[in-house]
Structure 1
Amino acid sequence: MCGICLRNDCSLPEKKGNLVIIESTIPPNTCEKQVKQILEKSTLKMCEDFCVSHCPERAIPGNTLHEMVYNDRVIGGVDEKSTQLTADLYSSFVKGNLHLTTSTTAEMIKLMENTFRDVNIALANEFAQIADDYGIDVWKAIEIANKHPRVNILKPGPGVGGHCIAIDPWFLTENANNSSLIMMSRQINDSMPQYVLKMVKEMLTGIENPIITVFGIAYKGDIADTRATPAKKFIKLAEKEGFKIKIYDPFVKEWNYPILGLEEAVEGSDCIVVLTDHSEFRNVDPENLHNKMRKPNIIDTRNIINKDLLEKSGYKIKIIGTR
């Protein structure tokens, strides 16, 4: 068994008995159509001379090796032999359950998993905006709603990032005629940076030459991954509106914009905008920041800060989905 390059221009090994396993997230029918077409340029025939399976990776940044071993895995071959050979291989190191199916179904399953989360987050984001209209606390409402045994609403935020949830739903919609809910969810999540900017503009009305300090540009907390982060869109939108942007992220060292130290990032700032739920943001020193900011304002899109402590120190605070 060996791995085989799937570039259209690659030189394919003409060797029978190969098992090709694809773990990358791919659209439905990729194995049976595109992969077949590419690999059969070798003059070998799929299912006769070589086998192909899709076993989508299931791993979270920061815990990849553990999840590779202990997570359940979905294995879908283009035929039964491909499925069984792949199951034999993965059973040698996977301690989770192996769920055997077809390659197209396996491709669909991975996309369904991430699309479910995207749609759920979009619902939470829409709940947050409705809560703003009604003047209630969406975080408390979600907490209580989730006590229902069949309800599990995720958390609202500034948008969706990462290399999976923000991208994978499009793999389902590109060749499908019935995907309006998925597309609308993508639109809602992609529009959240504009909604956050609207909150900032309302809070900073009347301030000339406003300066914003962005807390966190990673797409999720306690990691340095900035792929498809909604922070990038928020920053670009804010700059177009004339805001000066300064950035602090304790995990990210290099990015498209300069990353500053904490004190330099808040010096002269009119508003801290929390875009990432880094644990460090729970315990910021309110007095130290207050003395350096021009205006002690905070907008928290992750409900991560110590609101009571900061309010006692004189901060004006707005948490997304609350009044």
Structure 2
Amino acid sequence: MPVDIEQQVSVIGLGYIGLPTAALIARSGARVLGIDVSPHVVATVNSGRVHIEEVDLDGLVQGVVARGLLRASTQVEPSDVFVIAVPTPVSEDHAPDISFVLSAARTIAPVLKAGDTVILESTSPVGTTEAMRDLLATLRTDLKMPGQGGVPDVSIAYCPERVLPGRILVELIDNDRCIGGITPRCARKALGFYRQFVRGQCITTTARAAEMVKLVENSFRDVNIAFANELSVIAEGMGIDVWEVIRLANRHPRVNILQPGPGVGGHCIAVDPWFIVHGDPDNARIIRTAREVNDAKTDHVVAKASDLIDAYPAADIACLGLAFKANIDDFRESPAVKVAARLARRYGRRVKLVEPYAQDLPVDFVGTGAELIDIDIALERCGVFVVLVDHDIFKSVPVEERAGKIVYDTRGIWPDQPMAAMPVARVAGVA
């Protein structure tokens, strides 16, 4: 579909989804304004740089900023399309918090005009798009909102992303999109917008269905990871190599068990299932249990790692990885951070953090005495290794460089030192 070069688009929130989305829309030819509450983020983008790590994003942002197609501000301006990509966290009791979404709606309300389209991309509990519509209707009584009878002045829709960190720019374009409108007219309006830069199939539905689709996708992953994590605990207790069990079981043509780890992290999979549980707590039994299993796996890893560390009281401890998945700089809800932080609070200066995607000591470790070092120094100085993230750089360490090390591997990247086996060898140089 030809791009409307006169189209003005505002993206509210310049985080891990908002900034790549804004840059891709700008590359398609539209003029894009990115809105963020952080002056640092705004200044960084306006200088053609990025504040997050994502493959090829730095070059893309530099290019569209240089061409005058993307700029950033803390202040909203009139636009034709508003894309909201702000956080939707959960509280300590796992209740969804849509305050950032509603705050974004309040921000854009004064500049809305007839003919505008508002699209929510934030992962949200069912009914959030309608709640946003109701708030806008209250704030702008001069504009007719969709679903309130007659032809609306403003179109409102929901379209969640479904991307993999490290491949965001590719998947924002190539993956299919589920576009849910408050009304069918709203869905069609949003469909026309996404077809300007998305190559994947764009499928329309209702806003509530699209909201549920996003939650179901992440809950499906969470439930399947929970099976792998529970299996790993059972196998460990039986003295069986879980990695071999999974590898052999997956040779069955209809079995595809995922890989276990120290828990589940990231802003999506570790959070979104709670939205479904909160929406129907009586019936979301498997989904709730999966969340509890995955959270408990983090506690299990801390306990097992502590037992191992206590057996070698003179050895320094290397915690390998802090990101929530391999080869990215995203530490949100990371089980690796939770494990390493608890170990650092207990063992202090003995704990060394090895995270190639961190430039500074994360705030979780301030005051613990833990130190951020690289993998080569860790191999020289540390006797106990707790593998928490399967970064490629860790996979590349050969067996001979790990000789004599005591390893608790939660990712299965060093198969000659399986997670299920409790090492009994002495650490080199440790009494």
TM-score range, shorter chain: 0.7 to 0.9
- Residue 224 of structure 2 aligns with an amino acid whose one-letter code is N
Equivalent position of 1:38 in the other structure = 135
1:272-301 deviations in whole A, cap 9, x for unaligned? Answer: 1110111111221555565xxxx6211111
After superposition, residues 253-264 of structure 1 pair within 5 angstroms as 253-254=359-360, 255-256=362-363, 257=365, 258-264=371-377
After superposition, residues 1-323 of structure 1 pair within 5 angstroms as 1-3=80-82, 6-7=102-103, 9-10=106-107, 11-32=109-130, 34-40=131-137, 41-43=139-141, 44-47=143-146, 48-177=152-281, 178-242=283-347, 244-254=350-360, 255-256=362-363, 257=365, 258-288=371-401, 296-305=405-414, 307-308=415-416, 317-320=417-420
Alpha-carbon deviation of 1:101?
0.9
1:248-273 deviations in whole A, cap 9, x for unaligned? Answer: 12222222244212343345423111
- Indicate if the aligned counterparts of 1:131 and 1:321 stay in contact, CA closer than 8 A: no
For normalisation by structure 2, the TM-score amounts to 0.66
Stretches of 4+ aligned residues off by more than 6 angstroms? none
Alpha-carbon deviation of 1:205?
4.5
For normalisation by structure 1, the TM-score amounts to 0.87
- Indicate if the aligned counterparts of 2:324 and 2:389 stay in contact, CA closer than 8 A: yes
Identity %: 39
1:56-88 deviations in whole A, cap 9, x for unaligned? Answer: 012222221211111011011010100111112
- Indicate if the aligned counterparts of 1:194 and 1:237 stay in contact, CA closer than 8 A: no
- Indicate if the aligned counterparts of 1:25 and 1:168 stay in contact, CA closer than 8 A: yes
- Indicate if the aligned counterparts of 1:216 and 1:276 stay in contact, CA closer than 8 A: yes
| More displaced stretch, 238-247 vs 270-279 | 238-247
Relative to structure 1, is the Cα distance of residues 233 and 14 closer, same or farther in structure 2, using a 3 angstrom cutoff? closer
- Indicate if the aligned counterparts of 1:20 and 1:52 stay in contact, CA closer than 8 A: yes
- Residue 2 of structure 1 aligns with an amino acid whose one-letter code is V
Relative to structure 1, is the Cα distance of residues 42 and 4 closer, same or farther in structure 2, using a 3 angstrom cutoff? farther
- Indicate if the aligned counterparts of 1:25 and 1:107 stay in contact, CA closer than 8 A: yes
SS at match of 1:12: helix
- Indicate if the aligned counterparts of 2:125 and 2:276 stay in contact, CA closer than 8 A: yes
| More displaced stretch, 116-125 vs 260-269 | 260-269
- Indicate if the aligned counterparts of 2:309 and 2:317 stay in contact, CA closer than 8 A: no
Higher relative contact order (Cα pairs below 8 Å, separated by 6+ residues)? 1
1:100-144 deviations in whole A, cap 9, x for unaligned? Answer: 110000000001101111111111000111112333222222223
- Residue 136 of structure 1 aligns with an amino acid whose one-letter code is I
Equivalent position of 2:6 in the other structure = none
SS at match of 1:319: coil
Alpha-carbon deviation of 1:37?
1.9
Relative to structure 1, is the Cα distance of residues 62 and 204 closer, same or farther in structure 2, using a 3 angstrom cutoff? closer
Q: 1:14 & 1:205 partners in 2: Cα distance? A: 61
- Indicate if the aligned counterparts of 2:241 and 2:418 stay in contact, CA closer than 8 A: no
SS at match of 1:174: helix
What is the number of residues matched between the two proteins? Answer: 309
Q: 2:381 & 2:393 partners in 1: Cα distance? A: 21
- Indicate if the aligned counterparts of 1:4 and 1:12 stay in contact, CA closer than 8 A: no
